[in-house]
Structure 1
């Protein structure tokens, strides 16, 4: 083979390689769930988030880095792959604010919000995120009581961890943002301690139940007492009003009697005596004796129930009278 033919074949091969590079490195595709960063001579140029087919200068002038826009999960203290769970107790063991040891692991949801910073502001941003998660969780657990960490204070701990972690990530400026923070398990280090704490928790719950029952009973009795008090007050007010009205009626009646008494003292006096007798002895028959010995029923004050013939008195009876 002559030297000229060798150069021809070599040039042809180089041309094919160049054409192949131009053909495969001047375009790229961005999916809807992806985002891209264009590098020009190794320097970040532009960020591309619109999905579809895009073109650029051939390599090595321009290059492209494609990253996902989806939400990632960071598993702190454990790792779950292929249905198998692997734990890292040395990472999850920490001390609470009241000097108790607990094991706490959690999940952090995060996203890449600034691809260029994620790619070039740190060597391994996920390691930074893991360490920042550890620091944030230990800081919040270290200022919390064990009761809060194991029972009702988990939501507050999660919120405080998220705020602290987000501030650290912003400070490190690695191009990611924190979506949610979720405590998975907060446990005591061994079975004996867990059993003792369970007994204490059960006793506390029983105490709270009894206190609530006592408060409920106290409120019930207080309401009943308030009702009885209101009823007694209402009854007393009614009796007071009735007595006042009765007294007013008695005064009016007395004034009327006094007026009649002034007009006819003897008649009014006798009338009052007869009315009093009828009130004290409602079934008695009242008669007025005349000087001649005859009798007459007092008609104006009490109607006659029946008519009876005059009694015939003998001479002997008159003498006995």
Structure 2
């Protein structure tokens, strides 16, 4: 009896230790900053995501934890890159454009898990659904685009359209994924000769754009120079206008003063104006005012005498000095 009781005691202790161990190791969990967790209570998903750090829960099997990454994933469509080696899948990337040409198009989709419960339980293989939705979206947009747009200047618009359509499909599927970006890697023709022809077209278009940019640059330069010349002429004209206005105001002031004097003494003012005008018209000219009464004109050489008078005074001073 003693040995049986001891066995029961040991077994009980083992079960107790096991239960305590389960409680010790399943009532807490940690979430890293790069992770997000989902709590399951008897298999039912609890709402909300846990913040990074240490958290507690009910022991297993009441509650369990599913952890998913917060990082951004990349889906490579049409090729696979591994250890620097690229493996292409041309059968997946071959598609027809809207103008019935065949192109090879591959791209990269950046996505992340934003709803862990939907990602875990709404679909068995959400990444395969994402891949198929990417293929459908790309083929739909390429199928409605022209080959020239797909190969040259329309890539950005195609990327935006693929992203919008893919995001709409993923939202309808409710697999807990959000599309961050879509980037076309290569869009090319399957035939070398046709590819070369389109390359020449692309080069010609780039040359055309370069010439257009150079022409715009020259036009802007000449426009700025012409604008500068225009501003200079306008400034000079404004200055000349202001000078002429001030000169006119000065002339008006002089005229008003002359008129005031003329009103007081018309005859004297008239004679003075005549003399001033003659001095301006005939500079350095000797002017004589004479009263001609019909008799013999008498002329007294005042100017020659004025010139000789200083000379005579100078000679007299020289004689005295001797």
What TM-score do you get using the length of structure 1 for normalisation? Answer: 0.67
1:305 and 1:101 mapped to 2: Cα distance?
A: 114
Matched, 1:56 2:59: yes
* Whole-Å separation in 2 of the counterparts to 1:25 and 1:74: 39
Q: Tell me the equivalent position of 2:133.
A: 132
Relative to 1, partners in 2 of residues 1:285 and 1:137: Cα closer, same or farther, differing over 3 Å? same
- CA drift of 1:125 comes to 1.2
2:185 matched to which residue of 1? 185
1:74-98: per-residue Cα shift (whole Å, max 9, x none)?
A: 1112111232211122333344556
Asked whether 1:293 is paired with 2:294, we answer: no
Flag the structure with higher helix content.
Answer: 2
| Long gaps (5+) in structure 1 | 1-14, 299-303, 310-321
Equivalent in the alignment of 2:216: 212
Aligned residue pairs, count: 284
Please say if residues 35 and 67 of structure 1, whose CA atoms lie closer than 8 Å, have aligned partners that are also in contact.
Answer: yes
Cα displacement string for residues 63-116 of structure 1 (whole angstroms, at most 9, x for unaligned residues): 765543433221112111232211122333344556655433222222333333
TM-score normalized by the length of structure 2: 0.66
Q: Counterpart of 2:136 in 1: which secondary structure? A: helix
Distance 1:245 1:254 in 2: 14
Contact 1:149–1:186 (CA under 8 A) maintained in structure 2:
no
Q: Secondary structure at the match of 1:186?
A: strand
Alpha-carbon deviation of 1:183? 1.0
Instruction: Give the whole-Å Cα distance in 2 for the aligned partners of 1:257 and 1:54.
Output: 115
Q: Aligned residue for 2:8? A: none
Mapping 1:216-255, distance limit 5 Å: 216-231=220-235, 233-235=237-239, 237-238=241-242, 240-242=244-246, 244-245=248-249, 247-249=251-253, 251-252=255-256, 254-255=258-259
Is this contact kept in 2: 1:104–1:183, CA < 8 A? no
